[in-house]
Amino acid sequence: MAKIAVIVDQGFEDSELIKPLEAFANAGHQTVILGMKKGDTVKGKKEGTPITIEEEIQNANVHDFDALLIPGGHSPDRLRAHPQPVDFTREFIDSGKPVFSICHGPQLLITAKRLKGRTLTGYKSIIQDIKNAGATFVDQEVVVDDNLVTSRHPADLPAFCKACLERL
Annotated catalytic residues are 103
How many other C-beta atoms can be found within 10 angstroms of the C-beta atom of residue 109? Answer: 29
DSSP 38-96: TT-EEEBSSS--EEE--EEGGG--GGG-SEEEE--BSHHHHHTTSHHHHHHHHHHHHHT
Residue 156 DSSP symbol? G
Distance CA 101, CA 86 (A): 14
Residue 153 DSSP symbol? S
Amino acid in the structure at residue 116: K
Residue 168 DSSP symbol? -
